[in-house]
Amino acid sequence: MPDVGEGLTEAEILKWYVQPGDTVTDGQVVCEVETAKAAVELPIPFDGTVHALLFEEGTTVDVGQVIISVQTGEAQAPEAAAAAVAPAPAAAPVAAEAAEEPAAAARQPVLVGYGVSQASTKRRPRKAAPAAQNGSAAAALPAVPAQPEAAPAAPAGLNGNGHAAGERPLAKPPVRKLAKDLGIDLAAVVPTGEGGVVTREDVHAAAAAAITPQTAVSAPAPAVSAAAVPVPAQAEAPAAGDARETRVPVKGVRKVTAQAMVNSAFTAPHVTEFITFDVTRTMKLVQELKEDPDLAGLRINPLLLIAKAVLVAIRRNPDVNASWDEAAQEIVLKHYVNLGIAAATPRGLIVPNIKDAHAKTLGELSTALSELVATARDGKTSPADMQNGTITITNVGVFGVDTGTPILNPGESAILAVGAIKLQPWVHKGKVKPRHVTTLALSFDHRLIDGELGSKFLADIAAVLEHPRRLVTWA
């Protein structure tokens, strides 16, 4: 599993595109994985034949673990022939010291813009019996069982948990962090990993045993906690029709979104203001632009003009486009606008942004919006597309909702909720007439934007949409 950056330590395998026996070539996409940021397709950096897929779809895997083995026909080079999507510790310690420097020098990034560190690393040898060698490079990779077997009795020189007396338990950094977060002493955990390594499942099992000690007395504790077993999407539905509850694991994009929203809600002091107004003229302009030959082939809709109105209002009120630097206790004014568009996807809500939206023409903005939405729906939004946003628009009106009180995307100054545009009775030129009416709700960080500035900003957005000629006169 490659390091895709952003400080992420694990990813879920969504789909395999190859099976054992398939022939693969350098650069061929072999699987799709989902991190806490986005879904990413992983290419294989070797030519050969797939020997084994070491993890099933729906499994969450730590960065650095081998997920696929490929027979390349180069039996003399175990590190190259036992090809994995990302380098991982060898199963057997044989030749570890001899091949350490060449293997480190040969490590290559596997994704454009991402990849493994170029720095060489040294691992202490593990106390484990060498794996059987049969001349096949793929045979050096350990078979990964669906569920670890019960740990054997501890041999002489080991404590009751399988660790050598006085020796620090073997575990990867993400596993150590998990144990620390759960308050579990790794020295007290029974390891089931290859070479006596403590796995995530071992930590979860120890945590479950600590929470329900009475269960451990009446029956042997399972090697893997049920909470730690990845649940495929098709297994989330209850088995019986009369089940009263269904538990769905929170992971990937949905998990990081939940954490971000909690941090935002309890860090930035939110204020929300509302404005209801007539957008009949904007709706007429949308129709006229759709018929304009100069904009043929472009997607023209109310969201496009709302986005343009936001950019015009930011130009008139530049202080709203800022962020709060907690460490330096400074307000950082942005002289660019990375306009975020909240998008609902099957994997959860994401907020990609249009880079330098302030510098785009109406046609360029339309193209950027269309590409952003299409990429998000396909689950192909990259982590870079979701970074460094400044202000966000969320269109709740597409669901028939009039308005809401949106929570700020972390690090941004404001978020605009756009309600449904509906025909309503409205006083127009002294008479009650059916007009297209909508409600905007602006939530903003009160550390950055006071009531006066927030009100002016929201009023300017509404003024542009009520009289869209201001897109020209205020530009």
Q: Could you list the active site residues?
A: 446
CA proximity to 257, closest of 343, 368, 355: 343
Buried b (16+ CB within 10 A) or exposed e, 428-460: eeeeeeebbbbbbbbbbbeebbeeeebebbbbb
Residues in the chain: 475
Give the torsion through C-alpha atoms of 340, 114, 33, 346, to 10 deg.
10
- The set of residues, in sequence order, having a beta carbon less than 8 Å from that of 265 and lying 6+ positions away, is 407
Positive or negative: CA dihedral 287, 288, 290, 295: negative
CA proximity to 138, closest of 237, 54, 24: 54
How far is it, in rounded angstroms, from Cα 467 to Cα 465?
5
How far is it, in rounded angstroms, from Cα 84 to Cα 100?
17
Q: Could you identify the residue written with the tokens 């799709």?
A: 32
User: How big is the CA angle at 370 (ends 365 and 372), to the nearest 5 degrees?
Assistant: 90
Residue 283: DSSP 8-state: H
Q: Could you identify the residue written with the tokens 């690393």?
A: 121
- Residue 115 near residue 63, CB atoms below 8 Å: no
How far is it, in rounded angstroms, from Cα 240 to Cα 244?
9
Residue 264: DSSP 8-state: H
